[in-house]
């Protein structure tokens, strides 16, 4: 054991879903959008010149911040951008969760929350979802150092209604409350209108899912200008130039084609509802997901077995080993055709196993 | 004062050099490369398809790590990549500087070091450069929690020789030593060969300067595989998907054209030496910079006055207000033609002021 090891931070990193390098797989394991972003996007790449490569980007990402502010009808000082919502959330943990009291988040939720808390030595407590996997709002009424939960929650896909979120806010005026809306565009309701009334509320969203931009890395936070200023101060104490020149231009462009965006969402939602019906017929059980995935267990067949069987067919879904959810698979919603293939395989498999 | 403010981290961010939006400026304020990256780079953008946008990038950035390992004749587990060297250095501070003893860095150096230390509550002490702005190696022989310095140093441009660096390493086997080689390609000597012998040494480099990629954001660290693993664990506890799909491809490509790369460096070094001669004739004083900038004061004319006069001509250089260096300007090396314009303006200005 070398002495310098004592100075090294020891952490257990988050494990993302795999990114298989084979082609012709059906990839339903990381909640990507099965449809490409609007066709005008690739045109932007033709406008990239040497100066975009050679010169530092605007450290304040102004063109992207402005495009987001316009889209959501906010002021520019109410918007913060980062390298995907993971970057934004990491910055939020570092900026807002500096109390000796534990922060609270659900026991079944995005499994990066406890990783960030561990990384930054932030004390935390889980609130236990009820037996239907719903968040129990009263769990968040006790003294705490901050609150974070996704809405809809992941990997359950379940939405909490806005009046319950407001109830949590009313009970938590002395801490920062973060609502992680990575999946909100697939038919849920955003808590964004509440930022006017609650100066301690941060909404985090991402281009990765609903805007087909997982490969580009853009996430953003919205909230009162004072919170956004604190986030920016921390960001500028970490890395001045984060979002590169090409990404800034792509991000501005992807916000433009709203018709295409809404059309894509409609297709995914419709395929999700179709998939739910078919999975129920096959003996799957799940709550009513409002995200671009379904979190399901089968009445008879173990999740791990299904996971492996699907994988052998080059169909990738996500399986978590943790307690309470190891019987479940998280299946992202692909194209209608992909989901028909999946349902048809599952039908055969469950019949003949 | 709202109570939730108590939980918010208060920091004083790093202030980067400005990125003027006017065109036709001579931009010598942020040490960018005046030449574009090799012409084959823009071709890469034509290979970007919808899947590059839609799907998450490889969280381990394998193709870029491999390209760097091949370039430097290292194993892949000796290379870590990030969003510019600022991201890499931020990760290094978080990963390696966790002692109660203060870390040490020069009093005149990259002004982000104390910002990272403040952000992560890392205690630090300055070692004072001598009157010729050289690092005094003995300052680093006392007990400490880690060491970082740039070589060549910025904004001085001065190189410490490798045997002095090795002397520092021999006196510091119990802490991590980081050599920040952002400017090493412009004619200095890299300490990279020492990573075999010193398992506590990290070398940080960047594509921003010598590879004309400031707008793309790629930096990297090289060191013993155990240190790189610790860095990766922290990175994967912060953000899984950092370098996006397009950037990964651009980064691999820019490492390919070595002839073009070396040719560009030669042009910049030759212009630097020409500029030194001319500035001396005009009454400027400076040490012998080995970077792509010159850190100079004028014998008579105050730096602030020159900074403003240049700015009025749309020539941007960098001026720092801090003690000991407020008499200096940091002037990045542009193209030969740009430097001729600058020298000619300064000559007239100093003659007729």
pLDDT in tens, A133-173: 999 999 999 999 999 999 999 999 999 999 999 999 999 99
Report d(CA B266, CA B262) in Å as an integer.
6
What is the pairing mode between strands A103-106 and B201-206? unpaired
Instruction: Mark whether B179 and B264 lie in a shared domain.
Output: no
Q: How confident is the model at residue A286 (pLDDT cuts 50, 70, 90)?
A: very high
Instruction: Classify residue A60: in a domain, yes or no.
Output: yes
Say which of B10, B215, B236 has its CB closest to residue A54.
Answer: B215
**Beta carbons of A53 and B84 less than 8 Å apart:** no
Task: Quote the number of domains for chain B.
Answer: 2
**Beta carbons of A54 and B48 less than 8 Å apart:** no
For residue B260, what pLDDT is reported? 96
**Beta carbons of A13 and B247 less than 8 Å apart:** no
With an 8 Å Cβ cutoff, is A19 touching chain B? Answer: yes
What DSSP character marks residue B75?
Answer: -
Whether B1 shows a pLDDT value over 60: the answer reads no
Residue after which a domain boundary falls, among A228, A254, A280: A254
Instruction: Classify residue A345: in a domain, yes or no.
Output: yes
Instruction: Mark whether A121 and A214 lie in a shared domain.
Output: yes
What distances in angstroms separate CA B223 from CA A132, A138, A329, B22, B132, one per listed residue?
Answer: 49, 49, 39, 41, 31
Instruction: Mark whether A146 and A188 lie in a shared domain.
Output: yes
**Beta carbons of B9 and A245 less than 8 Å apart:** no
**How close, in Å, is residue B71 to chain A by CA atoms?**
21
With an 8 Å Cβ cutoff, is B144 touching chain A? Answer: no
Instruction: Classify residue A27: in a domain, yes or no.
Output: yes
With an 8 Å Cβ cutoff, is B238 touching chain A? Answer: yes
With an 8 Å Cβ cutoff, is A90 touching chain B? Answer: yes
**How close, in Å, is residue B352 to chain A by CA atoms?**
34
Answer yes or no: are the C-beta atoms of B349 and B176 closer than 8 Å: no
What DSSP character marks residue B84?
Answer: H
Which of A14-23, A134-143, A317-326, B330-339 is predicted with the least confidence, judged by mean pLDDT?
A14-23
pLDDT in tens, A216-259: 999 999 999 999 999 999 999 999 999 999 999 999 999 999 99
State which H helix or E strand residue B281 sits in: helix B258-281
Instruction: Classify residue A42: in a domain, yes or no.
Output: no
- Using the CB atoms, write b or e for A105-137: b if 16+ within 10 Å: bbebbbebbbbbbbbbebebeebebeeebbbeb
What is the pairing mode between strands A201-206 and A26-27? unpaired
For residue A1, what pLDDT is reported? 58
**How close, in Å, is residue B276 to chain A by CA atoms?**
24
List strand residue ranges (DSSP E) for chain A, in order.
26-27, 79-82, 103-106, 124-127, 147-150, 177-180, 201-206, 219-223, 284-286, 293-298, 315-316, 318-319, 329-332
Instruction: Classify residue A304: in a domain, yes or no.
Output: yes
Instruction: Mark whether B46 and B168 lie in a shared domain.
Output: yes
% of chain B exceeding 70 in pLDDT: 100
Nearest chain A alpha carbon to B9: A95
**Beta carbons of B7 and A175 less than 8 Å apart:** yes
% of chain B exceeding 90 in pLDDT: 95
Residue after which a domain boundary falls, among A254, A272, A295: A254
- ipTM of the assembly? 0.96
Instruction: Mark whether B72 and B114 lie in a shared domain.
Output: yes
For residue B86, what pLDDT is reported? 98
Instruction: Mark whether B104 and B246 lie in a shared domain.
Output: yes
The helices-and-strands tally (H runs, E runs) of chain B is 11, 13
CATH of residue A97's domain is 3.40.640.10
Whether A19 shows a pLDDT value over 90: the answer reads no
With an 8 Å Cβ cutoff, is A121 touching chain B? Answer: no
**What 3-state DSSP class applies to A318?**
strand
Instruction: Mark whether B245 and B269 lie in a shared domain.
Output: no
Instruction: Mark whether A345 and A285 lie in a shared domain.
Output: yes
CATH of residue B27's domain is 3.90.1150.10
With an 8 Å Cβ cutoff, is A128 touching chain B? Answer: no
pLDDT in tens, A47-89: 999 999 999 999 999 999 999 999 999 999 999 999 999 999 9
Residue after which a domain boundary falls, among B207, B239, B254: B254
3-class secondary structure per residue, A4-64: HHHHCCCCCCCCCCCCCCCCCCEECCCCCCCCCCCCCHHHHHHHCCHHHHHCCCCCCCHHH
For residue A97, what pLDDT is reported? 98
Q: How confident is the model at residue A17 (pLDDT cuts 50, 70, 90)?
A: confident
Instruction: Mark whether A110 and A213 lie in a shared domain.
Output: yes
Instruction: Mark whether B213 and B307 lie in a shared domain.
Output: no
Report d(CA A192, CA A190) in Å as an integer.
5
pLDDT in tens, B168-216: 999 999 999 999 999 999 999 999 999 999 999 999 999 999 999 999 9
Domain that holds residue B274: 3-36+258-352
Instruction: Classify residue A44: in a domain, yes or no.
Output: no
Instruction: Classify residue A342: in a domain, yes or no.
Output: yes
Instruction: Mark whether A104 and A24 lie in a shared domain.
Output: no
pTM assigned to the model = 0.97
Tokens of B198: 């010193």
pLDDT in tens, A86-113: 999 999 999 999 999 999 999 999 999 9
Average pLDDT, chain A: 96
Report d(CA A169, CA A345) in Å as an integer.
45
Tokens of B266: 């030669």
Report d(CA A156, CA A133) in Å as an integer.
7
Please enumerate, as own/partner, the contacts of A129-136 that have beta carbons within 8 Å and a separation of 24 or more. A129/A153, A129/A156, A132/A287, A133/A108, A133/A158, A133/A287, A133/A295, A134/A158, A134/A160, A135/A106, A135/A160, A135/A164
For residue A156, what pLDDT is reported? 97
Whether B149 shows a pLDDT value over 60: the answer reads yes
Mutate to test the interface with B, among A53, A111, A172 (most CBs of B within 10 A): A53
Instruction: Mark whether B75 and B22 lie in a shared domain.
Output: no
């Amino acid at each position: 054991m070398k002495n310098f090891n004592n100075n090294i931070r020891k952490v257990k990193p988050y494990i993302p879903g795999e990114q298989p390098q084979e082609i012709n797989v059906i990839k339903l394991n990381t909640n990507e959008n099965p449809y490409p972003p609007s066709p005008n996007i690739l045109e932007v790449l033709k406008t990239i010149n040497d100066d975009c490569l050679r010169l530092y980007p605007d450290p304040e990402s102004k063109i992207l911040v402005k495009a987001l502010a316009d889209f959501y009808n906010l002021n520019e000082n109410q918007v913060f951008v980062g390298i995907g919502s993971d970057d934004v959330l990491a910055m939020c943990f570092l900026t807002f969760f500096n109390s000796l009291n534990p922060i609270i988040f659900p026991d079944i939720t995005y499994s990066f929350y406890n990783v960030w808390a561990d990384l930054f030595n932030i004390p935390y407590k889980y609130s236990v979802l009820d037996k239907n996997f719903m968040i129990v709002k009263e769990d968040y009424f006790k003294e705490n150092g901050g609150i974070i939960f996704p809405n809809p929650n992941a990997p359950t896909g379940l939405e909490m209604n806005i009046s319950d979120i407001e109830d949590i806010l009313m009970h938590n005026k002395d801490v920062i409350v973060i609502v992680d809306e990575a999946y909100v565009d697939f038919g849920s309701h955003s808590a964004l209108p509440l930022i006017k009334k609650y100066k301690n509320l941060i909404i985090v969203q991402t281009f990765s899912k609903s805007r087909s931009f997982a490969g580009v890395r853009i996430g953003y936070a919205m909230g009162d200008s004072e919170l956004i200023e604190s986030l920016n101060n921390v960001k500028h104490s970490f890395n001045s130039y984060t979002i590169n020149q090409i990404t800034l231009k792509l991000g501005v462009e992807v916000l433009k084609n709203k018709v295409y965006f809404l059309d894509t969402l409609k297709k995914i939602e419709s395929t999700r509802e179709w998939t739910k019906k078919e999975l129920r017929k096959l003996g799957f059980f799940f709550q009513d997901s409002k995200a671009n995935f379904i979190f399901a267990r089968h009445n008879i067949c173990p999740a791990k077995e299904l996971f492996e069987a699907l994988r052998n067919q080059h169909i990738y879904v996500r399986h978590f080993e943790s307690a309470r959810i190891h019987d479940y698979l998280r299946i992202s919603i692909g194209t209608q055709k992909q989901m028909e293939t999946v349902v048809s395989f599952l039908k055969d498999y469950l019949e003949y196993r």
